[in-house]
Amino acid sequence: MTEAAERDAIAPKLLVIDDDETFAQLMARRMRRAGYVTHVAHNAEQAIAVLREHGACRAVLDLKLGPDSGLALLPRLKRIDPDLEVVVLTGYSSIATAVEAIKLGAINYLCKPASSDAILEAFTANCGDPGIDLASKPPSIHRLEWEHIQKVLVDNDGNVSESARMLGMHRRTLQRKLRKFPVKR
């Protein structure tokens, strides 16, 4: 057995699941430098196939995988390997999706951009931080709207048309709002 093969046999395995191919490859490279054997998937079906074939102890899962939902994929991954530690990573963070991700088995939830160090720390941060800074002002009306839209989307399993009907807006209007990054405050 070669030295590289021996190292790979004992190194922990990490699965990077992100539809942005460039981001996924960069993240995989960073995690290899941190000592992981990495595999990459760009959609739900690839992720399932890679996990079944290669296994992993940890996964970094993007919330939006093109037409697929990371939230819908999470329980499928956990059924294959209940011990899989999953950190959800997203550029579209909301309270609703964070809560659902944790309920579905993620061990942490991070907003993009997140450094590889922050992601690695998210795997080992086993307890909450009671000293975290609390907001001095309530969220803006735009942020509340974003949160409400995300909750309705979660309630409708990501179905944009049904969510638009429930919100009383045109589907294209909702799609336009979803293309924007969430309001920070």
Alpha carbon distance 94, 148 (integer Å): 9
Task: Please report the pLDDT score of residue 11 as a whole number.
Answer: 83
Task: Please report the pLDDT score of residue 140 as a whole number.
Answer: 81
Give the chain's radius of gyration (CA, Å): 18
Q: Which of 166, 168, 163, 156 is nearest to 178 (CA)?
A: 163
Q: Is the dihedral of CA 17, 23, 25, 31 positive or negative?
A: negative
Looking at per-residue pLDDT, the higher value among 160 and 133 belongs to: 160
141-155 vs 160-167: helix crossing angle, rounded to 10: 130
Task: Please report the pLDDT score of residue 136 as a whole number.
Answer: 76
40 forms bridges with which residues in the sheet? 16
Amino acid at 83: D
pTM of the model: 0.73
Rounded mean pLDDT, 76-98: 91
Rounded mean pLDDT, 70-86: 96
Q: Are 143 and 182 spatial neighbours (Cβ–Cβ below 8 Å)?
A: yes
Q: Are 163 and 156 spatial neighbours (Cβ–Cβ below 8 Å)?
A: yes
Q: Which pLDDT band, with edges at 50, 70 and 90, does 50 fall under?
A: very high
Q: Are 174 and 149 spatial neighbours (Cβ–Cβ below 8 Å)?
A: yes
Q: All domains of the chain, ordered by start, with CATH?
A: 3-124 (3.40.50.2300), 141-179 (1.10.10.60)
Task: Please report the pLDDT score of residue 44 as a whole number.
Answer: 95
Burial (0-12, 13-18, 19+ Cβ within 10 Å), 180? exposed
Residue 154 has pLDDT above 90, yes or no: no
As a whole-number percent, the residues of the chain with pLDDT over 90 amount to: 51
For residue 87, the 8-state DSSP code is E
Q: Which pLDDT band, with edges at 50, 70 and 90, does 55 fall under?
A: very high
Alpha carbon distance 122, 104 (integer Å): 17
Q: Which pLDDT band, with edges at 50, 70 and 90, does 9 fall under?
A: low
Question: Cα angle at 174 between 136 and 142, to 5 degrees?
Answer: 15
Residue with tokens 């735009």: 142
Q: Are 52 and 76 spatial neighbours (Cβ–Cβ below 8 Å)?
A: no
Task: Please report the pLDDT score of residue 1 as a whole number.
Answer: 52
Kindly report, residue by residue over 108-125, the tens digit of the pLDDT: 999 888 888 999 999 988
Mean pLDDT estimate for the chain: 86
